[in-house]
Structure 1
Amino acid sequence: MTVKSGVMGCLALCGALMAGQVWADCVPVPVTGVLDYSVCKEWPAYPGLTIGAKALFKRKPTPGDVDSNGIYDFDLSVFQDGKTEPLATYHQAAAFEQNGVAVYELTLDTARYKLTSDLRAFGVRVRLSNGSRLTPVDETQLSLYVREGEKLRPVLRQLVVSEYGGEWDGNCDSQRFEVSRTVEIAKTSSHGYADLIVKTQQTNTISVGEGDACEDKTSVSSPELTTLRYDGKSYVLPKGFQAIE
């Protein structure tokens, strides 16, 4: 479940309670800013545990900046069902910057990221976009975290799992590309953690002509497999796999 602002969270929660409904899943921590995000999700790998994440926006204090330019502080928590105090936490100040490219979505990924025989990671996906039709930039990045006692530690930082961009003249002429990546657990390992196999596929589209004569020419690349290896601290990302800076 996702909450975009404190007002939305209150409306959703209060409405459900007034209707006598029972929530089947977790309730995100309330947030107050219209640019803030709060999400939570049950962690199937560890029954009884729930993951919560929030990204709180801070406007840049620099004179002349528009209201939407700023940074996000990011917090992660793992809770035991029925408990209010988190079992483990993670905090990153200025985790994301919003300057032309904005944070559009924050989600939790509880796929089977089994890194050792008894350790599973969970993912956080962040989508960023500039909302432009003529020069679009749209990217989703994936980070993986593991629990170590009372701490949550990132082991994969901001792998780009989807990307879209290009240029368009507003009529027909355009060049666009779309990249998609999937992550699988390999049978091999490095420094005690399973290697990750990333499959990348790219689609390129060129549009030319005018009016009804506008034609698309699309080419799809063959899938490429890349192995990410753990170096003892984190998985090393090759050039081109990293998120927008």
Structure 2
Amino acid sequence: MQSFAFRTPLLRTLGRMALCLLLATMGSALWAAEPPQACAPATVAAVARWAGVQGKLVSWDQPGGLIAAASCKAMPDAPDTTIAAIAFDNLLEGQTRGDGNKLQIIALVEAGQVVAAHRSQIEEDATTAVGRYDIDTARYHLRPGVRAFGTVFHSDALGSRCPDAAADNELTLWVREGGQLRPVLGTNLRGWVNIVGTPCILNEELSRSEEARLTVSVEKTSSHGFADLALTARIVQSEVHGDADEKTRQRRARTVLRYDGHSYGHDMFRTFWYPADLR
């Protein structure tokens, strides 16, 4: 899982090399206007107890701090239930932006106790590093009595210097099953692809790229008991002819995801919106 700011690549004013550097760091900037979703200390402590994490439950910006990222939000239909997304730096690796391993806990907390949760590892590399979370509580009513919620992971990795394509803002939708949380959808919410020209080469005769923001909506149809989900990409194409003014075009692309009895699929690099010859 949304509301997302969207920016057209600044090919002319920044130059293609500056654009590539911008794309590598744009994920966090796109969410700069979002209100903070702070976690109460009692919520963090409850999640740490459940996960068996011991130590200083403060930001890793402080000496010995174990909290790499944390976001919390009340469940709309159950305000006494708090959704928590926390990444623990339990190995005290710090901000590696490379080879690291962080513990990720997604949890529901009630009255100071974790009532359902999911544990996983974030394996950091050149394209994945803990940045921050946002929690999405849009109306993902998958069937009567089942409302999913989303967590959006923003990577702080530097990424490739001159990429041909990029994807970020990773949404995961979760449903509760007893004491467990199960991920049922994974998708990126922003993508970029180079179409014509070579990234980071200045003053080419022709350069063309597309950038998309993706949103998720619930369909009226269903498959295997869960509502179908639609991914809609709003795409802006930017084109520059040498030193001429930048031209932009807009279009949309849409695809429907159907539940297969277990998930809608987990793909954090969606390409359905790419031009046909690049898919």
- Taking structure 1 as the reference length, what is the TM-score of the superposition? 0.71
More helix by share: 2
Match of 2:247 in 1: 217
**Alpha-carbon distance in 1 for matches of 2:229, 2:74:** 24
- Is residue 163 from structure 1 mapped to residue 191 from structure 2 by the alignment? yes
- Is residue 148 from structure 1 mapped to residue 177 from structure 2 by the alignment? yes
Runs of 4+ residues over 6 Å off in structure 1: 58-61
Match of 1:228 in 2: 257
- Is residue 90 from structure 1 mapped to residue 123 from structure 2 by the alignment? no
CA contact (8 A) 2:76 2:137 kept: yes
**Alpha-carbon distance in 2 for matches of 1:132, 1:239:** 15
CA contact (8 A) 1:73 1:96 kept: no
- Is residue 39 from structure 1 mapped to residue 52 from structure 2 by the alignment? no
TM-fit CA distance, 1:57: 4.2
- Is residue 73 from structure 1 mapped to residue 106 from structure 2 by the alignment? no
2:168 corresponds to which of 129, 139, 143: 139
Aligned to 1:47, the other structure's residue is in SS state strand
Instruction: Please report the RMSD computed on the Cα atoms of aligned residues, expressed in angstroms.
Output: 3.2
Matches within 5 A, 1:187-198: 187-198=220-231
Aligned to 1:38, the other structure's residue is in SS state strand
CA contact (8 A) 1:26 1:42 kept: no
Q: Which amino acid aligns with 1:74?
A: Q
1:56 corresponds to which of 88, 106, 112: 88
Aligned to 2:77, the other structure's residue is in SS state coil
Match of 1:27 in 2: 40
1:199 corresponds to which of 229, 232, 252: 232
Per-residue Cα deviation, 1:216-239 (whole angstroms, up to 9, x for no partner): 122323x22211111111113579
Match of 1:126 in 2: 153
Unaligned runs of 5+ in 2: 1-36, 45-56, 62-66, 272-279
Unaligned runs of 5+ in 1: 1-23
Q: Relative contact order (alpha carbons < 8 A, sep ≥ 6): 1 or 2 greater? A: 2
Per-residue Cα deviation, 1:85-105 (whole angstroms, up to 9, x for no partner): 211111012x34232553433
**Alpha-carbon distance in 1 for matches of 2:127, 2:84:** 27
CA contact (8 A) 1:135 1:165 kept: no
Q: How many residues end up aligned between the 2 structures?
A: 206
- Taking structure 2 as the reference length, what is the TM-score of the superposition? 0.63
